[in-house]
Amino acid sequence: MNQRSIERIKFLKEPSSYFNEEEFVAHFPKVEGEDELFKKLGDQLQFPDYFGHNWNAVYDCLSDFHWILKKGVVLVHNTIPVLSDASLKIYLEVLVDATGNWKEVDSHYLKVVFPEDSRQLIGEMLA
């Protein structure tokens, strides 16, 4: 990953207040562990029943939102998920790759939001 990767992530001072009625917004107040992350992603983003609760399945579902009617899909993290360094790096890479897959002409777009005070850590993880 290069420094340009972090440009695909939005950083806000108050991510919990993010709202846009034209977008499907999923808020993640706090997440601890891979299993909880997979469950919350599946629940909040209404992943299909075939979601496999693994990193490849997360990537696949973030790259195909045919079940969501709104064009914009936004993942809002109020805090960085509590994961091992290796898992956090994988998750951030999956998010950056998935946001980069969508083009303006596509049926959807994906935005990812984290708190402003996590910018440095996320930048280091993606470097």
Question: What is the pTM for the complete model shown?
Answer: 0.92
What the block records as the tokens of 83 is 């994961």
Q: What's the burial of 127, exposed, middle or buried (CB within 10 Å: 0-12/13-18/19+)?
A: exposed
Identity of the amino acid at 71: K
Which residues constitute the domain of residue 68? 3-126
Number of structural domains (the chain) is 1
Q: Where are the beta strands (DSSP E) in 31-120?
A: 72-77, 109-115
Which domain CATH number covers 110? 3.30.370.10
Q: What's the burial of 22, exposed, middle or buried (CB within 10 Å: 0-12/13-18/19+)?
A: exposed
Please report, in tens digits, the pLDDT of each residue of the chain (127 residues total): 445 578 889 999 999 999 999 999 999 999 999 999 999 999 999 999 999 999 999 999 999 999 999 999 999 999 999 999 999 999 999 999 999 988 877 889 999 999 999 999 999 999 8
Identity of the amino acid at 114: F
